[in-house]
Amino acid sequence: MTADYPSLNHGDRRGQRPELIVLHYTGMADAAAARARLCDSGAEVSAHWLICETGGTEALVPETRRAWHAGAGAWQGRGDVNSRSIGVEIANPGDRPFTAQQMDALTELLRGIMSRWHIGPASVIAHSDLAPGRKIDPGPRFDWQRLAHEGLALWPADGPDMPLASSLDAIGYPACSATERLSAFRLRFRPWANGSETVADRRRAAGAALLYQENAQPCPPIST
């Protein structure tokens, strides 16, 4: 694990503090290519952490600073996710499983971040969660159930057959088309599901809504 913070792509948190952790895949050929881009001042993108294919963990931006990883989007009614989050990039082109070494490194990293900033498992989210229709990472191959088993994310049991839209509102998905929200929800909680909305979608979403309500954390006040 390094701590020299090689990326200059960051700024002030605009009065906010980290209350979310956003997980990404890099979508690039390898960690070296991703590192080069995340540290390129012309690219105007960055993340706080990069996890390499073999599990090496690199600190690119101080956690106290605002990295540029989330882009446009919102979660649980709160925008400017960059100011409110810590971004973790995992080296993966998006077409293959994450390595066991990466998942081991991620669990260790998450425990540290969550302890430092008092962030609960309900606040560990996917890039696709906050940006439906725009982003799909970390994608359907990511092992959310393992993180949940270790207390580092949430994974629901099925609930009753309830209206999908109200459940997705309760979980925290931002307003957008019904198709985009369903796709984002499936990427996270029903990977590889496709087609029109089903009872299985509604039951899983209802279970997730209840779980998120039970694990809700009070949000710090929004600075004006």
48 closest CA partner among 11, 16, 14: 11
Q: How far apart are CA 18 and CA 128, in angstroms?
A: 19
Q: 173 φ, ψ to 5°?
A: -65, 140
Q: How far apart are CA 133 and CA 113, in angstroms?
A: 28
Out of 19, 58, 63, 89, the active site residue is 89
DSSP state of 17: -
Handedness of CA 220, 8, 3, 59 (dihedral sign): positive
Is 44 a known active-site residue? Answer: no
- Cβ atoms of residues 60 and 7 within 8 Å: yes
Q: How far apart are CA 153 and CA 172, in angstroms?
A: 15
Q: 88 φ, ψ to 5°?
A: -120, 120
- Cβ atoms of residues 171 and 159 within 8 Å: no
Q: Is 195 left (phi over 0), alpha (psi -120 to 50) or beta?
A: left
- Cβ atoms of residues 69 and 61 within 8 Å: no
Catalytic positions are 89
